[in-house]
């Protein structure tokens, strides 16, 4: 039998009777590009990511996609419906081959009350998501397109090994993906990235989009915040 002990989220949780809850969960593998949960789906399960990565997005009536973010092993999604019983508010698709632990809503709620450790982790993760959404909302209110792009690039980038003053996005994101994350058209992203490349602020390599001067992007954001305030 699969066990919640395999799920990174539950690592070192000592105050939980795993055997009691293991029997009530299901494990499933998803292929790259496979739909996991659809918008307005009436299921209420919570999904814990054992391996792989998924993308969360919403689609407008006109078919426009807005990417809310990605989740990786150790994270979970679907908790809002499990808590309030509403229909799914977003679409979730596997970005890579993934393995998920599917937990019924009533089990999720039982765990919240059964384990102080798990409850605190869940609360911290939910608060983190709220803070990120608040930051994005503020950015859309204050920043123009290019500054929203700067902020998203910095948020997605990670330190570049051996280059302490540089950051990188690996693999380099598609322009339409960046556009869906900041709410604009692909052509606008292409134009702004081209301008940054000409300035020597970014560089496209075979396997990454490198932020050669992330401090420049950060200073521009700080200046825009001062002007916006």
Structure confidence by residue, pLDDT tens digits, 103-132 = 999 999 999 999 999 999 999 999 998 998
Q: How confident is the model at residue 40 (pLDDT cuts 50, 70, 90)?
A: confident
As a whole number of angstroms, the distance between CA 97 and CA 212 comes to 31
What are residue 48's DSSP bridge partners?
Answer: 76, 101
Q: What is the reported pLDDT for 166?
A: 96
Q: What is the reported pLDDT for 82?
A: 93
Q: Is it the case that residue 220 has pLDDT exceeding 90? A: yes
| 109: its two tokens | 């709620």
pLDDT digits (tens, 9 = 90+) for 127-173: 998 998 898 888 888 899 999 999 999 999 999 999 989 999 999 99
Q: What is the reported pLDDT for 42?
A: 86
Q: What is the reported pLDDT for 206?
A: 87
Mean pLDDT of the chain: 92
Half-sphere exposure at residue 116, Cβ-oriented, CA atoms within 13 angstroms? 1
**Edge-to-edge strand ranges of the sheet holding 76-77:** 26-30, 98-103, 46-51, 76-77
Q: What is the reported pLDDT for 133?
A: 87
Q: What is the reported pLDDT for 157?
A: 96
Q: What percent of the chain has pLDDT over 90?
A: 77
Q: What is the reported pLDDT for 68?
A: 87
> Among residues 157, 179, 178, 155, which one has the least CA distance to residue 166?
157
Q: What is the reported pLDDT for 140?
A: 87
Half-sphere exposure at residue 192, Cβ-oriented, CA atoms within 13 angstroms? 22
Q: Is it the case that residue 229 has pLDDT exceeding 60? A: no
Q: What is the reported pLDDT for 39?
A: 86
Relative orientation angle of helices 145-156 and 214-228, to the nearest 10 degrees: 130
As a whole number of angstroms, the distance between CA 70 and CA 175 comes to 16
Q: What is the reported pLDDT for 1?
A: 63
pLDDT digits (tens, 9 = 90+) for 43-83: 999 999 999 999 999 877 667 788 888 999 999 999 999 99
pLDDT digits (tens, 9 = 90+) for 12-33: 999 999 999 999 999 999 999 9
């Amino acid at each position: 039998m699969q066990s919640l002990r395999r799920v990174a989220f539950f690592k070192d949780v000592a105050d939980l009777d795993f055997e009691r809850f293991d029997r009530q969960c299901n494990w499933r593998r998803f292929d790259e590009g496979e739909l996991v949960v659809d918008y307005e789906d009436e299921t209420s399960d919570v999904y814990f990511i054992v391996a792989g990565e998924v993308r969360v997005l919403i689609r407008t009536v006109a078919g426009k996609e807005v990417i809310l973010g990605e989740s990786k092993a150790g994270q979970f999604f679907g908790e809002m419906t499990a808590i309030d019983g509403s229909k799914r508010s977003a679409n979730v698709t596997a970005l890579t081959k993934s393995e998920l632990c599917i937990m019924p809503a009533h089990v999720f709620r039982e765990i919240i009350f059964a384990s102080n450790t798990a409850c605190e982790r869940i609360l911290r993760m939910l608060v983190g998501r709220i803070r990120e959404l608040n930051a994005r909302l503020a950015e859309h209110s204050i920043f123009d397109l290019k500054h929203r792009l700067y902020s998203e690039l910095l948020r997605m980038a990670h330190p570049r090994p051996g280059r302490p003053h540089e950051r990188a996005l690996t693999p380099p994101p598609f322009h339409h993906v960046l556009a869906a994350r900041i709410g604009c058209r692909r052509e606008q992203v292409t134009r702004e990235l081209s301008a940054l490349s000409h300035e020597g602020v970014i560089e496209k390599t075979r396997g990454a989009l490198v932020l050669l001067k992330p401090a420049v992007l950060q200073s521009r954001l700080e200046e825009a915040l001062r002007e916006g305030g």
